[in-house]
Amino acid sequence: MFLFLTCLSGVQATNRYQCDEGLTTIPTHIHSDVTDLYLCRNQLTDLPALAFPFPFLEELYLQENLISSVDVQAFYNLTSVVLIDLSHNKISVLPAGLFSTLGTRDEPGLDVDLSYNEFETLDADLFKDSPLIKRFKFNNNKIACLPEFVFDKVSNVEGLRLSYNEISLFSPEMIACTQATPGPLQGLLDGNKITYVPAFAFKQAKWMET
C-alpha cells in the first residue's frame, strides 16, 4: 500500500509525496524510492539540472506553479517515468533534447502535458532522441507556427493536442506522426486560426493508408 504523506508530516514518504504549501524549491528530504511526486500548486519558478534524483519515479505532477525555466538535464535519467504534468505554468521555451533520457523501451510510453503555458513556437530539436513520447499536449498556449519536422522523432504518437493556439497554417506533419487510427486527432486543432490547408494535406496520415 502506498504511503501518501504531505510535507508537514515530518516523515519521509516511501512511495508517494505531496506538498502544495508554497514551495519555492524542490524538497531535499524526499525518499529516494518515491514513485508518485505531487508538487503542484506551489511557487516553483525553475527546474535545475538533476532536480529529481529518484530512479523509481513514475508520475511527476508540477502543474499550477510559476515555472518558466527548465534545465536540459532537469529530468536526467528518469528511466521509470511515464507521466510529466507541467500544465498551467509560465513556460515559453524548452531546451532541445530535454526528454531524451526519459523512459525505457519496456515502458508503455511517456505522457507529457504542457498545456496552458506561454509557448509561441517550439524548438525544432525539442524532441530529438525522444522516440518514447506517446502522448503530449500543447493546447491552450500561444503557438502561431511550428518548425518543420518538429515531430519527426516521435513517429508513433497516440495522442496529440494543439487545440486553442494561434496556428493559421495547417501542416501535414501534424498528423503524419500519429499512429494508424484517426482517434488521436480528435480535438487536435480545435480553436485555432487556420485559414489554409495545402493540397494533399492528409497524404501522410497513416490511418488513411489502404
Q: Residues 46, 72: contact at Cβ < 8 Å?
A: no
* Predicted local distance difference test score (pLDDT) of residue 209: 46
Give the global pTM. 0.86
pLDDT in tens, 40-49: 999 999 999 9
Distance from C-alpha of 79 to C-alpha of 64, rounded to nearest angstrom: 25
On whether the 1-210 domain is CATH 3.80.10.10, my answer is yes
Residue 123 above 80 pLDDT?
Answer: yes
> Which stretches does DSSP call E strand in the chain?
4-6, 16-18, 36-38, 46-47, 59-61, 69-70, 83-85, 110-113, 133-137, 159-161
Q: For residue 79, what pLDDT band results from cuts at 50, 70 and 90?
A: confident
> For the chain, which residues make up each domain, given as ranges?
1-210
Residue 137 above 70 pLDDT?
Answer: yes
Residue 127 above 90 pLDDT?
Answer: no
C-alpha of 137 from chain center: 7
Average pLDDT, the chain: 82
pLDDT in tens, 185-203: 556 889 999 887 776 666 6
Q: Which residue has the higher pLDDT, 170 or 96?
A: 96
Residue 7 above 90 pLDDT?
Answer: no
